Amino acid sequence: MTPHWKFWVIGGLLVAVLAAAIYFPILRRRVKRAARLQQQSEEQARRELAQPIAINPGDPRVKTKLFWASDTIDSTLVPVTVELPLSSDPVVRSKQVLNTLLAGPVDTELRTLPPDALLLAFYLLPDGTAIADFSEALATSVPSGIVSEQLAVNSIARTLEANVPQVQRLKILIHGQEMETLAGHLDLTGAFVVNTKAAQAPVKPASTP
Amino acid sequence: MASPFGAQTQQAGLNIVVLDPAHGGTDPGARGTGGIRESEIVLDFAIQVRRALELQGFQVVQTRQGNEDPSFDDRSATANAQRGAVFVTLHISSTGLPGTARVYVNSDLPPVADSNGLIPWDRAQVPFLGLSKKFGDLVQGFLFQRFKGSPEAAQTASVRQLRTTAAPAIAVEISSVTVENRADLDRMAPGVADAIARGVAAFKPSYVVASTSGAPR
């Protein structure tokens, strides 16, 4: 092995280290940017899929009661009345009121549902059972606890009760799946009674919100 | 399978309290900004509640002793295996007025339609709803006296843990993990323990349940 040969090996290694030192930060930036773009496109696709039902200005404007948290009494709901053009179709109407509820009140402290939660789908069965499918954020972002989880579910149930008389019971799904609890406490395995008078034959196990 | 609730009832003395510190293991429950974890605090509360109950002469069974996370059904199974027991699940909330305490009993459940006298596991609480309400109101009454701003009577909620419990069962939720200092919660523990122990003692004379010879199916 001659010194000349050693010189070329060491020189080659130094060039490789130098190239790596220059290229690695560039590569890291590219990977980060790709991940960010992917995340943005996933979020965009999710939002497009769950596009809120557009309010049709041609629909008659009706007084709509939305239930958000009270600013005076701890852990209770109060109705806030707003005028909205609402469809007469119960499914479209339910989507309209729930999307307005999800959008939240002017005072964000009085929200009952996480700001990133989305209504993915809504169905109404012939027996009056509504199936509302929410994005995972409803379960992952709602504060964990009996009182906070109950406030979230009650705000949905009472808003439906006040504005869509066809809904008698409410079954909540998270991303299309039945969950045992919302965030560790409130039972989601059954259906919640929405309209106590109309719901004569509750399905297992029903709860009065 | 098999739990013939029904026709014949008999006086069964209340001797055992099943204490359930909620969450545990990989499930920390509610978390405060100051690093407060519900699963840890309820375990500490359980120690004080246990002591207060034992002073009243009750035997205490805990669903977990350390940082484990039994399933909802495992916790209920611990309670359902006892005779002459009540069930208390302990929680700390994420929200609500700090320094208050709420008692919850299960919301109304559809009646059990089985004609053979058996009750399904997933509705084991049904025959006990009335007793649970009475028990809950008593405990809430003592908490109301101790902690200003707490409700006067027990609330109803669809609490998963209570639904499968075949005993008078309540959830006690303390507000909240949002306190700036954990000591604020620790200071509540003796009062909560005393209220629960006094509530159980006050409930004891009215503890009359249907005779059961087995666990719910």
**Interface size between A and B, measured as CB pairs under 8 A:** 96
What contacts A73, CB < 8 A, 6 or more positions away? none
Please indicate whether, in this complex, the C-beta atoms of A148 and B95 are within 8 angstroms of each other: yes
Instruction: Report, as an integer, the average pLDDT of A55-76.
Output: 90
Distance from CA of B57 to the nearest CA of A (A): 30
Distance from CA of B32 to the nearest CA of A (A): 10
Chain A environment of B93 (Cβ under 8 Å): 143, 145-148
- Average pLDDT over chain B reads 89
Q: What pTM was computed for the model? A: 0.81
Q: Is there a single domain that holds both residue A72 and residue A175?
A: yes
A52 touches chain B (CB under 8 A): no
Select from B99, B97, B72, B107 the least CA-distant residue to B87.
B72
A166 touches chain B (CB under 8 A): no
Residue B129 lies in a domain: yes
Instruction: Report, as an integer, the average pLDDT of B147-163.
Output: 96
Residue A209 lies in a domain: no
Residue A85 lies in a domain: yes
Residue A18 lies in a domain: yes
Nearest residue of chain B to residue A142 (CA atoms)? B94
Residue B4 lies in a domain: no
The 10 Å Cβ neighbour count of residue B110 is 16
Residue A155 lies in a domain: yes
Give the number of domains in chain A: 2
Please indicate whether, in this complex, the C-beta atoms of A145 and B93 are within 8 angstroms of each other: yes
Give the number of domains in chain B: 1
Distance from CA of B89 to the nearest CA of A (A): 11
> In which domain, by residue range, is A83 found?
61-193
Give A138-149 pLDDT, tens digit per residue. 999 999 999 999
Parallel, antiparallel or unpaired: strands B59-62 and B85-92: unpaired
ipTM of the complex: 0.89
pLDDT at A179 over 50: yes
Residue B1 lies in a domain: no
Rounded to 5°, angle at Cα A48 from A46 and A50: 70
Rounded Cα–Cα distance for residues B202 and B135 (Å): 8
- Provide the CATH number for the domain around residue B154: 3.40.630.40
Give A47-56 pLDDT, tens digit per residue. 555 555 667 7
Q: Residue B107: which of A144, A184, A208 has the nearest Cβ?
A: A208
> In which domain, by residue range, is B19 found?
14-210
Residue B7 lies in a domain: no
* Residue B13 vs residues B2, B82, B121: alpha-carbon distances, Å: 22, 12, 23
Determine the pLDDT at residue A202: 43
B15 touches chain A (CB under 8 A): no
